[in-house]
């Protein structure tokens, strides 16, 4: 068994332990294995070990490897977890099952158009910039609930969840707590939060999915 597969099982065991610790139901948290920058040869053993949910940062990179993998493994669920440019909305809707980075009006409108055109309905999350970092994508926390409402009422989008990436140099706990609060106010069911360094903390704060890359695949 390769290192990657052993690391996958180790992460899954830690997720199960964190669920138990937080008195969450077993299996309440979905592992999104972040395969950005890794190629098909790296990803294949992880799929063969039973992992079915993956995250990619860039539409173009994902197009290079996932169409064939999704044909071979039709039950794969592919998440877009990187910023989405409006000129890539068409490709994103065609390829991804979940788009986690809706964060502005233009993207919401573009996605609504493409989903109607293609007859495809990927699940949608709104990305919240919990640290109000100027260099980072995501809607400001104070605008998040109103934006979710606009996505639903103006664009007819069913927003299923919220997503955040806390500032690298801050304790992630308060950011996860903020996302959980906003999620309740916005009436969404899912929270995508927590990465390789802090996913156990995220589970304690109510994450329903965690995005883990380097702890499984190693660092590029």
> pLDDT confidence of 1, banded at 50, 70, 90?
low
Tokens of 220: 């590029």
> What gap in Å lies between CA 210 and CA 26, rounded to an integer?
15
C-alpha distance from residue 57 to each of 16, 29, 141 (Å):
26, 21, 22
Q: Does residue 39 carry a pLDDT above 80?
A: yes
> pLDDT confidence of 219, banded at 50, 70, 90?
confident
* Cβ–Cβ < 8 Å for 26, 17: no
pTM for the structure as a whole: 0.97
* Cβ–Cβ < 8 Å for 42, 35: yes
Which residues have a Cβ under 8 Å from the Cβ of 48 and sit 6 or more positions away?
Answer: none
> What gap in Å lies between CA 63 and CA 43, rounded to an integer?
14
pLDDT of residue 5: 97
Mean pLDDT of all residues in 6-16: 98
């Amino acid at each position: 068994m390769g290192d990657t597969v052993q690391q996958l099982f180790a992460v899954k065991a830690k997720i199960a332990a964190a669920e138990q610790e937080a008195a969450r139901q077993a299996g309440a948290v979905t592992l999104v294995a972040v395969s950005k920058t890794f190629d098909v040869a790296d990803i294949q053993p992880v799929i063969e070990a039973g992992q079915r949910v993956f995250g990619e940062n860039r539409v173009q990179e994902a197009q290079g490897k996932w169409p064939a993998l999704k044909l071979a493994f039709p039950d794969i669920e592919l998440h877009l977890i990187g910023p989405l440019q409006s000129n890539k909305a068409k490709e994103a809707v065609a390829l991804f099952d979940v788009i986690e980075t809706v964060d502005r009006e233009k993207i919401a409108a573009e996605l609504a158009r493409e989903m109607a055109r293609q007859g495809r309905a990927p699940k949608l999350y709104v990305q919240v910039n919990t640290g109000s970092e100027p260099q980072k994508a995501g809607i400001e926390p104070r605008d998040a609930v109103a934006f979710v409402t606009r996505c639903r009422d103006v664009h007819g989008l069913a927003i299923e969840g919220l997503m955040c990436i806390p500032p690298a140099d801050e304790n992630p706990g308060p950011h996860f707590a903020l996302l959980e609060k906003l999620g309740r106010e916005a009436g969404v069911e899912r929270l995508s939060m927590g990465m390789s360094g802090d996913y156990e903390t995220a589970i304690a704060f109510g994450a329903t999915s965690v995005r883990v890359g380097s702890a499984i695949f190693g660092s590029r």
